[in-house]
Structure 1
Amino acid sequence: MTYNAVRSPSPRPRSLTAVALTAAVSLLLLGAGTITAAASPPGAPGAFSGAADAAAGSPALAASAPLTNLSHLTFLLDTVPLPAVEGHTTYEIDAQPTAQAPWTYADKKADGSYGRVGGGSLDPATGHWSQGAYNADDIARTAVVYLRHWQQTGNETSREHAVQTLRSLTYLQTATGPNAGNVVLWQQADGTLTPSASPVELPDPSDSAESYWVARTVWALGEGFAAFQDTDPEFAAFLQDRLHLSLDSLERQSLGQYGTFDVADGVNVPAWLIAGGADASAEAALGLAAYVTAVPDDDSARTALTQLTEGVAGMSSGSATEWPFGAIMPWNKSQTLWHAWGGLAPAAVATASTVLGRSDLLGAAVTDAAQFTPQLLAAGGPDNAWSPTPGEAQIAYGVDSRVQGLVATAAAANAPGLLDLAAVTAGWFFGANANGAPAYDPATGTAIDGIETDGRINPNSGAESTIHALMTMLTLDANPTLKATALGIDETLSTVGLSVVEAESGTITGSGSVVTPPSSWTGEANLSGGAYVRLYAGDSLSIPVPASDQARNVFPIVNQGEGDSGATAWSSATSALGSTSNGGAGAQGITDASGRLFPLSLEQALPGADTAVVGVAGGVASVDALLIQPLVSTITVTGPAGESTVYVSAASETSVRTVVVPRGYRLAQQAFDAVGRPVASVDKKASKAGAVTVAAGGFTVAKLVRK
């Protein structure tokens, strides 16, 4: 189920111990799936730290053991009675009137053990939770984990758990009547269905319309059919029938709108996404891709996969120099809210593009993986949301989604550089995060429920966190080179990327003022800092920004109204930067509020030495903040394999950054272009001089290697 808010009152201390350089390391190996594990310079250009003569341990030793441990997920499973309810049945229910489902949450106790917990509040008289003990979202994804583990290892216990969770899921699916194919979200421990939960979740009742849980049901049924097609044709046929039941429902609803578009703040958006989301649609597409691979001549499934993938790809937005930097946006009702629950979109698009033979769709996955993801990592790691500024908690779902997208897109686009990013991202589970400690324990199979921006953790280990940690571990176990490299990363030394400067920190000249509304939520996005500056024609706003050793892109975040309201001209002490429209957001359309809060691009970069950005309003303007983007951002990580730095370009031409190369070392680097493919090796003389070359819109992995 969705993320349970971080509740831990105290952060764990982060280790500041420097990890020594490896004495003998290899360069990047550019074969498919190959990533090096070696020492490199830290993030600050021109600096170097570390015990240069010490040798670090090899991650290969740890990589020999499986990372996937299903013990905690199996602990979450319980036996669920399946009472006779009109419209709800499952496979062989008369012979087996029970199934299995995972409890939604697991709270960590003082003694280190866990207690299984349902959603909402518990009524001790009935034993019912105000939501339920189990939910279809987690049941579906639990089935996917057991299916993949069984397929990957041949484990018969996982096969049986897959059968039982799929039986549980299909019991929640409404089988007859006008809502056939939709799914009830919640179920109590005694088997009672809870179609209407408290607090209310839409749709209400939960099987009255399509939903996230319908999409995830399609995901599990698609992968389930593909897994059982040969080994248990009878069960596979049942899953196939139930898959078509949900597809029929979707065709009556969202997919019936295929080819039509809604308007959201003046932008045409696909009207046929499940529940209006590329997030839900992508997870359904993952299941359909598995199913269509197994049954390529199923026209209705292939058509649904095509339509959903086209819709998801159609939500791609921005570029390397335009917010949101190539991300696939998750919700067609907002142009400025990206969240990690939509993070599987690039994985779905990349996978489906191969299954369908639609290379024209692949570009959306590539820009999300190769341009947005590096910016996300450099801004502080895999945040759960940008709305539109970075700075949210981080959870296993979001981390896993990035890993899956990078690995799938690397394969589909022949872009091995994305695997370097996947290793850095997966390192979050092993300690390369704001807390500094592992977020997943391979000895127990537990995964923490989240990490706040200040490093505080939620020590609980609910179903969603466990599921997505295990999905990453399954992917790493299936890719030994990637696994070894990820295990060599257990600390983030620094990230230098997107930063936010609040408009209200500036000096207002004229009649403008700081406005603090009752809520920071606009209906589509969040005001950074909960306030903004309102300017009138002729007013100016001077916002202080820190100096830098390089130029930066500046994105004024403006809450634009629908109507025209002139423009605001932006400049610094030495440069005219460009202008932004105060209004002109476009017709509201299907969004929940008029206007849009959006980071707007300027024509010129801010020189590094300039320390203020000044806006002069030509009409009424609402300025929330400045989003500052270095032309070259960095992510520096370390661990048993030594330090490495990823340099990320937001420039329109090749950039060069300089690091100090200590005596006895040489600079090893591999540059990748804007789609994650290797570019020609740099001049050896440049490497000797400590020059790191970064392709326009691409990224470079750099390391210091002992001669």
Structure 2
Amino acid sequence: MRKSAWLLLVFSLILGAAPLPVRAAATADTDANAKVEANANVDANSNVDPDVNSNLNLNLKHFNFMNEKVTIDGVPMFLTHLYAEPIDRSDPSKGYAWVGDPQEGLSAVDDTARAVIVYAEHYKAYRDAYSYDMIKRGLEFLMWMQHDDGDFDNFVVRDEDGTIRVKDSHSSQKSFSWWAVRAYEAMGTALPLLGREDRALAERVNGRLALCLKRLKEKTDPLYGQYDTSSGAKAAKWLLEGDVWVSSIAVGALRAHSLAVNDASAKKAIAESVRKLGEGIYLARGGASFRDFPYGGIMHHSVGMTNPDLWEEWGSIQVRALAYAGQMTGNRAWIDAARMAADSFLSDLLLSGRAANLHPNKKPYPQINYGTASYVDNLLALYEVTGDKKYAKLAGIAGSWWTGNNVLGVPMFDERNGYAYDGLTDKEVNINSGGESVDEALRALLRIQANADARAYLRAKTVEAVKAQTVELEELYRGSAPPDAEMALPGGGLNDPDRALRKQSPGSGTDEAKIYADAKQVEAGTAIYPGWEGEQAIFVAASGYNNLRLFGGGAIETELPADGEPGRLKAGETLKLQFDARVEFDTTLSAEVLAVDAAGRETVVADARDMNYHPRDWYSGDNAVKTTPRAPIPAGTAKLVVRFRVGSSHPNPHEGYASLAGVKLFKMSVPEARYANPDVSGGGYVEMPAGQEKSFAVRVPNSGLYDVMLSSVAVASTAPASASAPIASASPSVSVGFDDGEPALASPPAGPAGRVSVKRIATVRLAAGEHELRLKNAGGAAAGLDALVLYPVETGIVVATPDGRRTAVVRDSVSGALFVGSPAEAAARDRIAVTAEWPEAGREKGSAKIAVTGKVTDGRGEPVAGRKVAVRAGGASGTAFSAKDGTFDLRLSIPASASPEGLRVTASTASGEGTAWILR
């Protein structure tokens, strides 16, 4: 598995090359492709005919550049380069240069398979000879990377003599995992496009598809019916790699295989695997509520997971997988679950703000092509399966990210040159344009272009928005206090090659093995950077970024006086350490601030023990690592020590390291603030002492009804903070109120310290303007409070398209429905709140009847009488009429085969819809 290298600019040139295992060496003769992209390098097939595509110019220039034609063992192939950086960062139009990675090589099955699918989509639309030739070349490369048992290698590297050979890395070895199922899907997508003249190739591809199916079954079937419950959630062990995300790609591959073959026995075997994977994916759905987290989303469950609330935007095509699995197996519940996840969960992200990941709080950035394409894939699949045009329209709106409908207003696909920029944050665009980025962008855009309803919204712009508002409680605490004071920390930058005292040897460049050999010569107590000493650590110089690299067993530290002199730290003060870091696979990084007394006794006053690093991600800027205070500086402290240690169990020691720079030390003005927990919102939370009361001013942008969601953190048991604190219980008891309204009571989560939960605690009506937020911890222990999220019960946007049309998208959490239509229709629609259940009497008698009740109201919340309400569930339907107070009720007989697990009930009028679910 490999994500787009969002911070490639930061780290692409600081990594060293490793010795390469050889599976099968093969010589490669590159074609006319240059390592540097020339501005004039435009193939005749680079630009889509404007008569066919009047909306967006899907220029293939850069895509073709990234796909290098090679000849291996005499066979014409192509491979997709992993990364590319602009030749001149001030002017990307001058072209790009390929950039490799010492741990990943120059190309991967993962990206080349994606590129084959892009060429297939392009060929289906335009029937051009160039795309057809590249499809064949790509298929040859994928088959060359497949083993006889069906597994695939992923990465390849090119030696100095031009030999291309397989390279294992920690994240990618011979297996049937992410890259394998992507290759499987590429072969299934391409096979029906091969002409009669390529019958021999088609037969070989068909054989490889059968091999993929065989290997998938070997990896999944023996575990069918077994579950993992170690996290408290039920995960299917039989999923491919035990993982919902990988299995979702596999469903797409199985579907492509099924569509590509006519053999009945093969189709039956494929359908059996789809059914089993669908069962496992369905288990990961997060309830069926628009109003309670995780809002019906299908979460990233896997065997051995520690956080069942995890979801990641990149690769999140589980909605597509369930929709296709439901269609292929005739399972209505799976299609309904996919609709629920799209209507509630995905729409919430598109309307109130996307998330790179949830765990359970949003990490909003970076936004990348792989993530954007996932929304498109999910929504277009739902349109294919259900025929509901709202999903196609929403796919087009999601795709408008590429034309500039994003937080920065910057087009992320350059129509003139064909660049798909790697990603953005709310502050900047990463203008690198790697293989994954351009693959994902073009594949999704081609699919949008092929759908008239989606295509109409590609250039949409959001002109109005009503969205959820996150109130960061640590920011409220800090808002009434002075800023944290940065203290002098000599040499904390750790990034100036002119100041570094121990550097990598000349000529080691990006060779990780050579850098490791240099670091091994650094013994304990060696001065590495002014003010810092350590062992097995060395300064690494790089283009764009410089840092200290600490290998397994390495450490660095510095000392500071704590004598209370002006500008220095003293007893009673609380500290926060902040730093930039990146940690490799199978590697740990500890960061501590220690108070040391005259006898040498150490007390930890701050550390980052709660930090869970994602391997090979840079944490810097707003996402820099911050420690949590553990104790004030104790009396009698003689000095402070800032210490970093690295441990690694990586099988290749030269690849097990942490990179470090930008170390800063702060005296905290808000001792309740806590950091280093990656699951919290905004990077921090507060530990509210028992007995504490606080009030803050909070501004609400729009009048309306709001669901109040509280994100809270389990805190290790502590004594009451003050003598006046009540000791009524051993746990916290928090109340949250607005103005003079009745406060809501909330109990932060139990369980291991650091566990985060998001729960709805109240529904309040608030007018636009400023309100008093009142917090109180009346319990007997400290409470970890992270954030409040104020969710309007109706969120939505209005987008404008170039033809002057305006379209509203409304997520109605009371009705449990997603509406897409004109703003006038949105305002005039009926709101329908629905509940449904199996009556107890019916259960006793085995009756197949459900009780459906509800209420129809208008946009002002007033009841609507006399509405004809059509109710549907489990393939059955019935009719009711709303009474004077807007209510209706109905007993609906459903087929005996319908299951109460996952039964979706809809109630609709001529101008509105509501949904409810009956879950076992």
Q: Pick closer, same or farther for the CA change 1:697–1:105 going to 2, 3 Å.
A: farther
1:524-547 CA deviation, whole Å, 9 max, x = no partner?
A: 953223322224554456565323
Query: Given that residues 576 and 604 in structure 1 are in contact (C-alpha distance below 8 angstroms), is that contact kept between their aligned partners in structure 2?
Result: no
Q: Pick closer, same or farther for the CA change 1:76–1:522 going to 2, 3 Å.
A: closer
1:4-54 CA deviation, whole Å, 9 max, x = no partner?
A: 225789xxxxxxxxxxxxxxxxxxxxxxxxxxxxxxxxxxxxxxxxxxxxx
The reply to whether residue 484 of structure 1 matches residue 442 of structure 2 is no
Structure 1 match to 2:436: 464
Structure 2 match to 1:614: 775
Match of 1:68 among 50, 58, 74: 58
The reply to whether residue 216 of structure 1 matches residue 217 of structure 2 is no
Query: Given that residues 555 and 601 in structure 1 are in contact (C-alpha distance below 8 angstroms), is that contact kept between their aligned partners in structure 2?
Result: yes
Q: Pick closer, same or farther for the CA change 1:578–1:194 going to 2, 3 Å.
A: farther
- What SS class does the counterpart of residue 79 from structure 1 fall into? strand
Partners in 2 of 1:670 and 1:195 — Cα distance? Answer: 60
Partners in 2 of 1:230 and 1:565 — Cα distance? Answer: 76
- What SS class does the counterpart of residue 635 from structure 1 fall into? strand
1:61 Cα deviation (Å)? 8.9
Partners in 1 of 2:754 and 2:914 — Cα distance? Answer: 33
Partners in 1 of 2:59 and 2:3 — Cα distance? Answer: 22
- What SS class does the counterpart of residue 229 from structure 2 fall into? strand
Structure 1 match to 2:4: 3
Structure 1 match to 2:83: 105
Match runs of 1:360-439 below 5 Å: 360-380=333-353, 382-387=354-359, 388-439=361-412
Query: Given that residues 212 and 274 in structure 1 are in contact (C-alpha distance below 8 angstroms), is that contact kept between their aligned partners in structure 2?
Result: no
- What SS class does the counterpart of residue 760 from structure 2 fall into? coil
- What SS class does the counterpart of residue 188 from structure 1 fall into? strand
Match runs of 1:540-551 below 5 Å: 540=693, 542=695, 544-547=697-700, 548-551=702-705
Match of 2:203 among 226, 231, 237: 237
Match of 1:349 among 307, 318, 322: 322
Q: Which structure exhibits the higher relative contact order, with contacts defined as CA atoms closer than 8 Å and separated by 6 or more residues?
A: 1
- What SS class does the counterpart of residue 628 from structure 1 fall into? strand
1:284 Cα deviation (Å)? 1.7
Q: Which residues of structure 1 form unaligned runs of 5+? A: 10-59, 84-95, 121-128, 586-592, 687-692, 699-707
Query: Given that residues 520 and 526 in structure 1 are in contact (C-alpha distance below 8 angstroms), is that contact kept between their aligned partners in structure 2?
Result: no
Query: Given that residues 709 and 762 in structure 2 are in contact (C-alpha distance below 8 angstroms), is that contact kept between their aligned partners in structure 1?
Result: no
Which amino acid is the alignment partner of residue 279 of structure 1? W
Which amino acid is the alignment partner of residue 475 of structure 1? R
Partners in 1 of 2:295 and 2:205 — Cα distance? Answer: 39
The reply to whether residue 583 of structure 1 matches residue 749 of structure 2 is yes
Q: Pick closer, same or farther for the CA change 1:284–1:473 going to 2, 3 Å.
A: same
Partners in 2 of 1:342 and 1:501 — Cα distance? Answer: 29
Match of 1:552 among 691, 706, 719: 706
Query: Given that residues 279 and 342 in structure 1 are in contact (C-alpha distance below 8 angstroms), is that contact kept between their aligned partners in structure 2?
Result: yes
Match of 2:281 among 278, 301, 312: 312
Partners in 1 of 2:688 and 2:105 — Cα distance? Answer: 49
Which amino acid is the alignment partner of residue 86 of structure 2? K
- What SS class does the counterpart of residue 288 from structure 1 fall into? helix
Structure 2 match to 1:701: none
Which amino acid is the alignment partner of residue 297 of structure 1? S
- Per the normalisation by structure 1, the TM-score is 0.73
Partners in 1 of 2:825 and 2:249 — Cα distance? Answer: 41
Partners in 2 of 1:6 and 1:673 — Cα distance? Answer: 45
Q: Pick closer, same or farther for the CA change 1:379–1:425 going to 2, 3 Å.
A: same
Match of 1:275 among 208, 228, 241: 241
Which amino acid is the alignment partner of residue 340 of structure 2? T
The reply to whether residue 327 of structure 1 matches residue 492 of structure 2 is no
1:98 Cα deviation (Å)? 4.1
- What SS class does the counterpart of residue 326 from structure 1 fall into? coil
Structure 2 match to 1:21: none
Which amino acid is the alignment partner of residue 450 of structure 2? A
1:131 Cα deviation (Å)? 1.8
Match of 1:285 among 241, 251, 264: 251
Match of 2:756 among 597, 602, 607: 597
Match runs of 1:499-510 below 5 Å: 499-506=469-476
- What SS class does the counterpart of residue 158 from structure 1 fall into? helix
Structure 1 match to 2:507: none
Partners in 2 of 1:423 and 1:568 — Cα distance? Answer: 46
Q: Which of 153-162 and 633-642 deviates more?
A: 633-642
Q: Pick closer, same or farther for the CA change 1:132–1:550 going to 2, 3 Å.
A: same
The reply to whether residue 339 of structure 1 matches residue 312 of structure 2 is yes
Match runs of 1:130-169 below 5 Å: 130-169=103-142
Query: Given that residues 734 and 745 in structure 2 are in contact (C-alpha distance below 8 angstroms), is that contact kept between their aligned partners in structure 1?
Result: yes
Partners in 2 of 1:265 and 1:159 — Cα distance? Answer: 47
Query: Given that residues 421 and 430 in structure 2 are in contact (C-alpha distance below 8 angstroms), is that contact kept between their aligned partners in structure 1?
Result: yes
Structure with greater strand share of residues? 2
Partners in 1 of 2:830 and 2:678 — Cα distance? Answer: 33
Match of 1:570 among 707, 732, 735: 735
The percent identity for this pair of structures is 23
Structure 2 match to 1:195: 167
Query: Given that residues 325 and 371 in structure 1 are in contact (C-alpha distance below 8 angstroms), is that contact kept between their aligned partners in structure 2?
Result: yes
- What SS class does the counterpart of residue 457 from structure 2 fall into? helix
Which amino acid is the alignment partner of residue 68 of structure 2? D
1:477-521 CA deviation, whole Å, 9 max, x = no partner?
A: 21124313323x1x3345432332222234599xxx999852664
Query: Given that residues 350 and 408 in structure 1 are in contact (C-alpha distance below 8 angstroms), is that contact kept between their aligned partners in structure 2?
Result: yes
Which amino acid is the alignment partner of residue 2 of structure 1? K
- What SS class does the counterpart of residue 583 from structure 1 fall into? coil
Q: Pick closer, same or farther for the CA change 1:97–1:8 going to 2, 3 Å.
A: closer
Match of 2:684 among 515, 531, 537: 531
Q: Pick closer, same or farther for the CA change 1:458–1:481 going to 2, 3 Å.
A: same
- What SS class does the counterpart of residue 161 from structure 1 fall into? helix
Structure with greater helix share of residues? 1
Partners in 2 of 1:340 and 1:213 — Cα distance? Answer: 18
Partners in 1 of 2:224 and 2:53 — Cα distance? Answer: 46
The reply to whether residue 119 of structure 1 matches residue 106 of structure 2 is no
Q: Pick closer, same or farther for the CA change 1:362–1:408 going to 2, 3 Å.
A: same
1:321 Cα deviation (Å)? 0.7
Q: Pick closer, same or farther for the CA change 1:377–1:607 going to 2, 3 Å.
A: same
Q: Which residues of structure 2 form unaligned runs of 5+? A: 11-49, 481-573, 577-605, 614-676, 718-728, 834-854, 863-910
Q: CA RMSD in A?
A: 3.9
Query: Given that residues 681 and 786 in structure 2 are in contact (C-alpha distance below 8 angstroms), is that contact kept between their aligned partners in structure 1?
Result: yes
